[in-house]
Amino acid sequence: MAKYRIEWRPKAREDLGAIVRYIGKDNPTRARSFGEELRDKTLPLAQHPELGRTGRPGQPALVRELVIHRNYLVYYRVWNEAGIVEILRVKHAVRKTP
């Protein structure tokens, strides 16, 4: 059983949707499965919320990042008291941090 519940913030859902739409322009079949793969890569955080590394300099306090694909990072925050891992953003690796 998962120790933490994973919650996607609206901005993170928008980010994921934009990625799927972008890929869908060239490969609609792959776009949906790729989006599911990215989401699935966050599931281990329910058992291991410290899996990602702590933020880089200039990143907001308590924000961690996890590489979910060679080109994509998830930014998240852990709320230990509430048992929640909050997915904040999904960004391409070459883009600036949130």
Residue 13 located in a structural domain: yes
Is the model's pLDDT at 11 over the cut of 90? yes
Is 46 part of any domain? yes
Sheet containing 72-79: give its strands across. 5-8, 84-92, 72-79, 63-69, 53-54
Q: Is the whole model's pTM more than 0.85, yes or no?
A: yes
Q: What is the pLDDT of residue 96?
A: 57
For 3-67, the three-class secondary structure string (H helix, E strand, C coil) is: CCEEEECHHHHHHHHHHHHHHHHHCHHHHHHHHHHHHHCCHHHHCCCCCCEECCCCCCCCEEEEE
Question: Does residue 97 fall inside a structural domain?
Answer: no
Q: Is residue 98 part of a domain?
A: no
- Per the structure, the count of domains in the chain is 1
Q: What pLDDT does residue 58 have?
A: 75
In a domain, 88, yes or no: yes
Expressed as residue numbers, the domain containing 15 is 5-92
**For residue 69, is it within any domain?**
yes
pLDDT: which is higher, 97 or 13: 13
Query: So what's the pLDDT on residue 40?
Result: 95
Q: What is the CATH number of the domain that holds 76?
A: 3.30.2310.20
Is 84 part of a structural domain of the chain? yes
**pLDDT tens-digit readout, 41-76:** 999 999 999 998 887 777 777 899 999 998 999 999
pLDDT at 54: 87
